[in-house]
Structure 1
Amino acid sequence: MSLVFDGHNDVLTRLWLSNSPNPAQAFLQQRLAGEMDLQRCQMAGFAGGLFAIFVPPFEYVQQHVPHKLANPQADQFSQQDMQNICLKQLAILQEIVTDPNQQVKLCTSSAEIRQCIEQQKLAVVLHLEGAEAIAEDLELLDVLYQAGLRSIGPLWNRQSLFGHGLKAAFPHSPNTGAGLTDLGKQLVKRCAELRMVVDVSHMNERAFWDTAELLQQPLVATHSNAHTLCPQARNLTDHQLKAFQETQGMIGVNFDTAFLREDGQRNRETSLDVILDHIEYLMAHVGEAHVGFGSDFDGGFISQELEDVTGLPKIVQRMQQRRGYSENLIHQLCRENWLNTLERIWGK
């Protein structure tokens, strides 16, 4: 079994949204309703990945878990709401990694991830998806960094202090509006000073190029695909792909069917072959050393053929049997490319 290190999942957000009295222990000890838990990760050879903390859309929280809001009658999140949601998800992760059985470790270096793989522990890299919870003074960024945060997507779909966001009907180009604000540029610069991964997966085209101009490190898209094969605004154009090649960057292929299919539909009857089609297209444009997985488990719409994290070996099997990938290439795509990219950004 090829061990997988993955670029993106939303299990921490799902655990926060659940009504479990102890979501951390549920993740560690039970088979959960979503697409990931420790038991299934171990079954699947899921060695680790970037685990996102994320503030879901206000309407979703208000409809499904209004008791988690300070004021359920409000029409949008307060800054305090957003910070509390992030810190609650961080607290769930802290409980997971401090469990006496020590089956999960929060990692801040490539060496720690490799050590976890050797010791058969789940390696977690903490990622922040959308920086809305961080206020203008950026102090929370430093607090989260001290708590282990090593990767950040400054923008999500909605507009924020940091940029325009990225939301458009299908099909659409990534050119959906203005780029980074001045504060957004300050945030990216500060992240670069801290040697954090800066994720461009939810950036529109102008924000993408603003970020590329500011960074002197590999560009990273934790869960994005090829726009030529699926013209979602969030997928990457050939012009953008050149920037990944030039910076020795990294792209994690998103398993959400809406970002794979040429019709952009969320359709469970989607073949795993389209995942490999995107992998091969991206490899042809950025190189074999710069592509991997960015599943979006527990945050995306996954095909029934894959179903959940336990479907990962099916992808590997298809790489071998239908596409003739070498063992070395499979090893690169499954985890080594991610670990090498993190090492280039963080240092050893």
Structure 2
Amino acid sequence: MTSTAEPSAIVPVFDGHNDTLLHLASGKAKQAEIAFGEGDGSGHIDLPRARAGGFAGGFFAMFPPPQASTTNMDEEMKGASYDLPLPPLLPWEKAQASTVGMLSIMLRLERAFPDDVAICRSAAEIRAAMAAGKIAAVLHIEGAEAIDADFTSLDVLFAAGLRSIGPVWSRPNIFAHGVPFRFPASPDTGPGLTEIGRELVKQCNQRGIMIDLSHLNEKGFWDVAGLSTAPLVATHSNVHALCQSTRNLTDRQLDAIRESSGVVGLNFATCFLRPDGAMRADTDLEIMVRHLDYLVERLGEDGVAFGSDFDGAVIPAAIGSVAGLPRLIEKMRGAGYSEALLHKIGHENWLSLLERTQGQG
């Protein structure tokens, strides 16, 4: 993996996962268009820092948050071990309202910044947006509570641009069971897909919607692997052999993803990177390279990408925000990653994956 380019070369990054819409909807930032367009320093992604960091776009998650929580997850996950209680099932009406609210924010951003943001429905549209210097946004659902058992809302969301679904965000729903936030532990934590969940896989395959296996427990993973006709994908997960979190993937799971010509996006959340499972910002980038090395060895150069979890987790302070992406790229260069491989991991593998997935629809 010999590097030949100048150290200053910017690699465009199309990222597998962020929670920026949730951040903008949470009230922690200014009005969404102002916070995103001008940058107020309250989150990880905004237009000025995206330009500085070479952020070319990614999967923008619509995540229906719990109704209430007394658990400070970031603090609880600093310990030597933890097992966080999961919130209860979220009612469809509340999940739909929050999902539509985040979709509305994305539509408003596209309207407010037509020269800078584009909602994309295909790899071809992503390539066109990138060529025009726009942030290419693909709509993703993290936790499918907003989708009803008859899938009528899926038709509406698909028409609005939805192209990726994670059936669960850790808490159980009508489709599947997720993994709890537990360390150290196996991802084999409970039952797999429900009958409606199995139908969701078929509905996604018919439409060419990508199915995200991050947050799904191991039995659910194998249920999807046995049903889906599309490549297997984990947009923001890491290596269980290096960090024994329930959220990370075992070697056997990684092998199945490789066999399906799928992709894993490296999660920047420090609790899924560090051998001690701690959510701490003082995490060396060398640990990220260690996970990337393992993933490339296990999945091949076409099966690895980024899935940052920007605006959804504590990330290494050395990156800090989307503006810090070049520091990770430079660390990879120093570890011997070639320019061709940097561009594959940076954006090309996600685009190729979408082409293969949407070809199933």
TM-score of the superposed pair, with normalisation by structure 1:
0.93
SS in 1 for 2:327: helix
The whole-number CA distance in structure 2 between the counterparts of 1:32 and 1:61 is 26
Deviations 1:177-217 (A, max 9, x none): 00000011111110111111000001100000000111111
SS in 2 for 1:128: strand
Q: Which of 316, 322, 326 is residue 329 of structure 2 equivalent to?
A: 316
1:278 aligns with 291
Q: Which of 202, 225, 234 is residue 215 of structure 2 equivalent to?
A: 202
2:142 and 2:167 in contact (8 A); partners too = yes
Q: Does 1:337 align with 2:332?
A: no
After the TM superposition, which residues 147-186 of structure 1 pair with which residues of structure 2 at under 5 Å, given as runs? 147-186=160-199
Q: Which amino acid aligns with 1:53?
A: M
2:30 and 2:40 in contact (8 A); partners too = no
The whole-number CA distance in structure 2 between the counterparts of 1:114 and 1:62 is 41
Q: Give me the identity figure in percent.
A: 46
SS in 1 for 2:14: strand
2:239 and 2:249 in contact (8 A); partners too = yes
Displacement of 1:28: 1.8
2:19 and 2:312 in contact (8 A); partners too = yes
Displacement of 1:61: 10
Q: Which amino acid aligns with 2:222?
A: W
2:17 aligns with 8
The whole-number CA distance in structure 1 between the counterparts of 2:212 and 2:225 is 11
Q: 1:58 to 1:205 in 2, by over 3 A?
A: same
The whole-number CA distance in structure 2 between the counterparts of 1:60 and 1:12 is 20
2:7 aligns with none
More divergent stretch after superposition (75-84 vs 158-167) = 75-84
SS in 2 for 1:49: strand
The whole-number CA distance in structure 1 between the counterparts of 2:359 and 2:342 is 24
Q: Which amino acid aligns with 2:310?
A: F
Q: Does 1:54 align with 2:63?
A: yes
Displacement of 1:26: 2.3
Q: 1:300 to 1:141 in 2, by over 3 A?
A: same
SS in 1 for 2:130: helix
SS in 1 for 2:330: helix
1:58 and 1:76 in contact (8 A); partners too = no
The whole-number CA distance in structure 2 between the counterparts of 1:313 and 1:30 is 19
Gaps of 5+ in 1: 64-74
1:252 aligns with 265
SS in 2 for 1:187: helix
TM-score of the superposed pair, with normalisation by structure 2:
0.90
2:75 aligns with none
Q: 1:190 to 1:61 in 2, by over 3 A?
A: farther
Q: Which of 200, 212, 222 is residue 187 of structure 1 equivalent to?
A: 200
SS in 2 for 1:51: strand
Q: Which amino acid aligns with 1:42?
A: R
SS in 1 for 2:105: helix
Deviations 1:39-82 (A, max 9, x none): 1111100001000000112214999xxxxxxxxxxx97532111
Gaps of 5+ in 2: 1-9, 73-87
Aligned residues: CA RMSD: 1.8
Deviations 1:221-248 (A, max 9, x none): 0000010000101100000011111110
The whole-number CA distance in structure 2 between the counterparts of 1:183 and 1:19 is 35
Q: Does 1:303 align with 2:316?
A: yes
The whole-number CA distance in structure 2 between the counterparts of 1:206 and 1:217 is 18
Q: 1:16 to 1:250 in 2, by over 3 A?
A: same
The whole-number CA distance in structure 1 between the counterparts of 2:220 and 2:206 is 19
Displacement of 1:128: 0.2
Displacement of 1:11: 0.1
Q: Does 1:27 align with 2:27?
A: no
More divergent stretch after superposition (213-222 vs 51-60) = 51-60
- In the alignment of these two chains, the number of paired residues is 336
The whole-number CA distance in structure 1 between the counterparts of 2:300 and 2:55 is 24
2:90 and 2:145 in contact (8 A); partners too = no
1:220 aligns with 233
After the TM superposition, which residues 46-85 of structure 1 pair with which residues of structure 2 at under 5 Å, given as runs? 46-60=55-69, 77-85=90-98
Q: Does 1:118 align with 2:131?
A: yes
